[in-house]
Structure 1
Amino acid sequence: MSTKIRFYLIILFISVFAACKKDNDTMQTEQVEENRFVRLLVADAEDKTITFINPKDGAQSSFQAQFAANNIYPTNSKRFAGVVNTANNHVSFFDSGVEAHGDHAHLKGTPKWALTTALAAKPTHFYSLGNEIAVFNDGDASLSIVTEDKLHTQAQTNHVVVDQAHHGAVVVFANGTYAVTQKDNSISGALPERVKIVNATGQVIHTSTVATKGIHGDAGDGNTAIFGTVGGMLIVKSDGTQSLVNWPSEIGEANWLSTIYYGKGSQKFLGFKSKFGAFVLNPVNNSFTKVVTANNIRSAVFDAEGKDILVLLEDGTVQLYSGSSLIKLQEIKLNVSFGTGALVPNVTATKHFVYVTNPNGGEIIQLERGNFAKQSKIAVAGKPAKIIMLGADFDDEGNH
């Protein structure tokens, strides 16, 4: 090989190496951005402020609720949020202004309060499936019922009494019926012992067939509902079939899973108890699979897609688990302080980011899902506490 040819080969190699290095550097420094139609809604821990955030461009706007210290829940479509104030017997609805249509989304007007309110006694449990919204009111064991498409035209929800007053819950089935808790007074206290199925007028369609020693926590996939009980998980199907599956010894009655979630993206049920742990519940084969147990666990929830599982520990540690394999994907310890009551950090996640509220710090901490070490902060006035994702997790119209 001649000296001239060797020279050209060396120059070519250097050029290719430099080009590859430039591409690698570009990939390493590429900035991950939030999707265009994602919105965050944040409720203050102490006052009436509801903060609406577009994390893509950083824009914020504040809205004043009727009362202070609200709980907030996304509707099934995520266009609206239910703003629940139990202490003041009031539920209102907030419109994000983003309407999703399967694989694309549109801006639909501006962010604003919807017309509909619910005024029943002690609204506590919020549930949404398809177009249906139902709130269980502890004060008179009633349902406040409305459909999403009427939130700007119907002044008040429909009020349907289904039982005697108790600390209850509702699950909406896809066939238009409702699984509601029932108090038979076989145990003392406010917790119910049974579940029955009613229609939209409160008429009983299927009576209870299983008695428990107390129910708290529930979720459903449209056809099957799981209720957390002292003895195990109560499985209720839309056709009225009921069965009680005892907790395994690892859980036991002392640690019964009193909070239940359903993740639409993973098609899994998640059972949780603070200071104990989280388990995936399978009502098909009656199995229980541990996600995590820890005596300092504060919350375990699905991300906004209902796919992966977010865990928050009392020392500020955030963990992300795969909803399919249950393998831990990410973990980081944040410098956040845990208060009590409403001053407890809250967490949600989109496809690209995890968001953790820091009420005492007046901020939301944003973690990149691919690398929790990459984080930024969104300053929010007051004491930002509860947080949910609204809108649609799309980067553009027609794209995921």
Structure 2
Amino acid sequence: MKNKFNKLLFLFALSAFAVSCSNDDDHDHEDHSDDTAQEYKYVRVLVSDEKTAELSLVNPVDATASFFDAKFPKSALYTTESGRFAGIIHRADNLVETFDSGFEFHGDHVDTKGTAKFGALTGESLSPTHFKSKLGEILTFNDGDGTLSVAKESDVHTPGAKFTTINAELKAHHGAMASFTNGTYAITEKDNSIAGTLPEKVKIIDNTGKTLFDAKLVTTGIHGNATDGTYAVFGSGSGILVVESNGNQKYIAHPEGFGTAWFGTILETAYAGKFVGYTAAKGAYLIDVVNNSVTPIIENTKIMQCKVSYNQKKLGVLLHSGEINIFDLNSLKSDKKANIIAATAENSTQKPQLELTERFAYITSPTTGELLQVNLSTLAITKIKTSATPYRITIFGHENSAGH
């Protein structure tokens, strides 16, 4: 009798354990990846304000926002390589802040690490402007003195953590940098061969600021850059400047008929050796640095915003007319085209800003204090209340809905 009783207890415990494990699996890795009508659970949108220091942290899933106070208004916003953190750039006030989404990616799921909050890591430098994040680092180029500021993502919550300075003995200029996978940097330099604040050439340095490879080409001005870790690509008046970590440099010619136009914006894609070049004078083009080719994606002189999606597989283009165009960056075919917002005057001082995920486009409405969430499948629009005068936005977190 006792043995039968013990067997029953064992079977009951085994059954409970199986149910418990089954429930844990369902709960811990719940995934709505096929639910295209809804944004991924762990995506967030951070919005700065033009006139106040208020930040709006938008949860697109339930169309709500929570609010935080940055140090200053009118900040530029960027996302770090891991997707977990945002960089908040106060150029005019010589300050960089960090902000934590609270979401940490683990390959097949996302862990929640406390609540969304500011990081302890800050940076103080002269006119921090250009932002990049690669190899676990956060970088700014400081226009005020031509230095780099660098910190590690892993130090965002280290009490008292500060960005450190890399001084490559450069003149102050409106510059940029790019990280290579071997840990070196391509950095612009100014030799005053042209007037103004734009640099003319690019050299390779290490993390102490030591020059490893001098510039091989001198341009008529550089603005805009991106890197895939192997190639660093810079927009230049002399041609598209391609730089490698071994010091090799080359130009890719602009398309025929460009005249004096050149790409002032270069964007990274999900495809090795391929970048998007954008100029308001001509439109957006795919740059293939391996095949030395430049292919039109959209040729239009009325583009208001041109952005690569969060997964870097789509290109979103918002025209002044209010029309949005979505392109697949693999096929270069148009995925969607529709009038989505009212027209914006080309001389408007504060224009709507665009960012997009795999499933949605996000557009600020500076006059109504809203973020518009546009479903890329149905074009349905959800309006989410933000601070009164939304200024800049960045998407961070992870395009994933599986969590613990």
TM-score normalized by the length of structure 1: 0.88
SS at match of 2:329: coil
Contact 2:63 2:382 in 1 (8 A): no
Where does 1:118-267 land on structure 2 (aligned, <5 Å)? 118-153=123-158, 155-162=161-168, 163-252=170-259, 254-264=260-270
Classify 1:107/1:168 alpha carbon distance in 2 versus 1 (closer, same or farther; 3 Å): same
- Paired residue for 2:298, among 281, 292, 298? 292
| Aligned equivalent of 2:319 | 313
Contact 1:191 1:214 in 2 (8 A): yes
Change over 3 Å in CA distance of 1:161–1:256 after alignment to 2: same
Instruction: Indicate yes or no: 2:334 matched with 1:332.
Output: no
The answer for the alignment partner of 1:12 in structure 2 is none
1-structure distance, mates of 2:189, 2:343: 39
Distance 1:62 1:273 in 2: 35
Give the drift of 1:95: 0.6
Counterparts of 1:377-392 in structure 2, within 5 Å, are 377-392=383-398
Q: Matches of 1:233 and 1:332 in 2, distance apart?
A: 32
In 2, Cα distance between equivalents of 1:293 and 1:397? 42
- The farther-off stretch of 190-199 and 97-106 is 97-106
> Is the Cα–Cα contact under 8 Å of residues 286 and 297 in structure 2 kept in the other structure?
yes
Contact 2:53 2:74 in 1 (8 A): yes
Alpha-carbon contact 1:337-1:358 (below 8 Å) kept: no
SS of 1:231 mapped into structure 2: coil
Amino acid aligned to 2:154 = D
Deviates more, 1:266-275 or 1:61-70: 266-275
- CA distance 1:31–1:187, shift in 2 (3 Å): closer
Which amino acid is 2:280 matched to? Answer: S
Match of 2:328 in 1: 322
Shift of 1:46: 2.2
Once the two structures are TM-superposed, the CA of residue 115 in structure 1 deviates from its matched residue by 0.9
What per-residue deviation string (whole Å, max 9, x for no partner) do you get for residues 362-385 of structure 1?
11111111122x222112231123
The structure showing larger relative contact order (alpha-carbon pairs under 8 Å, at least 6 residues apart) is 2
**How far off its partner does 1:245 sit?**
2.0
**2:262 maps to amino acid:** W
Q: Name the structure 2 match of 1:394.
A: 400
SS at match of 1:149: helix
Residue 279 of structure 2, aligned match among 270, 273, 277? 273
SS in 2 for 1:129: coil
Give 1:199 shift: 1.1
The number of equivalent residue pairs is 367
Matched, 1:343 2:350: yes
Question: What is the Cα deviation at residue 335 of structure 1?
Answer: 3.0
Letter in 2 for 1:294: N
Q: 2:127 & 2:70 partners in 1: Cα distance?
A: 17
Structure 2: distance between partners of 1:397 and 1:206: 45
The 3-state SS of whatever aligns with 2:98 is strand
Within a 5 Å distance, the mapping from 1:352-367 to structure 2 comes to 352-367=359-374
Q: Is the 8 A contact 2:235 2:265 kept in 1?
A: yes
Q: Does 1:63 align with 2:65?
A: no
List, as ranges, runs of 4+ consecutive aligned residues in structure 1 with deviation greater than 6 Å.
none
Q: Which moved more, 1:155-164 or 1:260-269?
A: 260-269
Percent identity between the two aligned chains: 37
Residue 266 of structure 1 and its aligned partner are, at CA, apart by 7.5
Of 288, 294, 304, 2:310 maps to 304
Which residue does 2:91 correspond to in 1?
Answer: 86
RMSD: 1.7
8 Å CA contact retained: 1:265, 1:305? no
Structure 2 residue aligned with 1:97 = 102
Q: Is the 8 A contact 1:276 1:297 kept in 2?
A: no
Structural mapping, 1:9-24, within 5 Å:
none
Instruction: Confirm or deny: 8 A CA contact 2:51 2:74 kept in the other structure.
Output: yes
* Runs (5+) with no aligned partner, structure 2: 1-34
Q: What does residue 59 of structure 2 align with?
A: 54
Q: CA deviation at 1:275?
A: 4.3
Q: Answer with 272-281 or 74-83: which moved more.
A: 272-281
The one-character-per-residue Cα deviations of 1:188-222 (angstroms, maximum 9, x if unpaired) are 11111110111111111111111111100100001
